Amino acid sequence: MVNATVTQTLRNQHEVYHGQKIAENAEDIWGWEKPTGPHRLERRTGYLIERGDLTPEKLVLEIGCGTGVITTYLDRSGSRITGIDISEDLLSQAEAKSWSDRVDFQMGNAEHLHFEDETFDSIVGSSVLHHLDIEKSLAEIRRVLKPGGRMAFSEPNMINPHIFLQKHIPWFKKLAGDSPDETAFVRWQFANALRQAGFKDVQTLPYDFLHPLVPRPLIGAVAGLGSVIERIPGLREIAGSLIVSARKPQT
């Protein structure tokens, strides 16, 4: 792991402490160790690979890689992946796993990336931007993307009733394992933020009605119903997550 100098705000310090607090059970808190985990991971990372345009030998930055769960799936693309996280506790778990020689991990802060301008072909992440100062993060993502490079992120959808309550009721927020400053996004507001940051080809897609706590026998039925709801205008807006993607202009 490369230990870059990491500039931190109070918000960043909260995230570092949060990483320390959840490190032992992080993957369970995030829902990846639940019976629904593999299905949700396959779908989420499939979107990130497709919309982030991850292909063999491309240089890819994964922001907020945590324990490397998402990285494991992204590595299948054949891209050369640099995973960064502000939490050394989570990164140490990622490093302890077995990796191809295409993957490396570094300490890093998405609000103050330590990479040179126009370094990466693609930048992706899962459930990370809602922890950050979005204006600073998008500016940094645009800076280190190559012209024509793509970004793709999966983020919680504030329009989802469960997510809305979780982000606004303090005891629920704590019970769910949230960090103090994290929030969620309304997709048209997020799309506007991307355009203001200078991105083109902005797309936001509500998806995922498969709650992490759905029991194993019901996964197929709930996933199938969810895929139907995702095609219904209006109703699809309350999906649990958003896939957001955009392109940095060539000039």
Give the domain ranges of the chain.
Answer: 10-247
Query: What pLDDT score was predicted for residue 92?
Result: 96
Instruction: Give the DSSP H or E segment for 207.
Output: strand 200-207
- Whether 69 and 27 have beta carbons less than 8 Å apart is answered as yes
For the whole model, what pTM was predicted?
A: 0.93
Query: What pLDDT score was predicted for residue 10?
Result: 85
Query: What pLDDT score was predicted for residue 5?
Result: 53
In this structure, what DSSP letter does residue 80 have? E
- Full DSSP string of 97-147: S---TTEEEEE--TTS--SPTT-EEEEEEES-GGGS-HHHHHHHHHHHEEE
For tokens 């995922």, name the residue. Answer: 208
Our CA dihedral for 82, 77, 132, 239, rounded to 10 degrees, sits at -170
Give the strand pairing for 145-156 and 80-85: unpaired
Query: What pLDDT score was predicted for residue 61?
Result: 99
Instruction: Give the DSSP H or E segment for 148.
Output: strand 145-156
Query: Can you name the CATH fold of 10-247?
Result: Rossmann fold (3.40.50)
Alpha helices in the chain (DSSP H): 10-22, 26-29, 37-51, 69-74, 88-95, 134-144, 161-168, 170-175, 187-196, 219-229
Q: Which residues of the chain are under the pLDDT cut of 70?
A: 1-8
Strand partners, 60: 81, 122
- Whether 105 and 84 have beta carbons less than 8 Å apart is answered as yes
Tally of CB atoms within 10 A around 179: 17
Amino acid at 51: R
Give the strand pairing for 80-85 and 103-107: parallel
Query: What pLDDT score was predicted for residue 6?
Result: 58
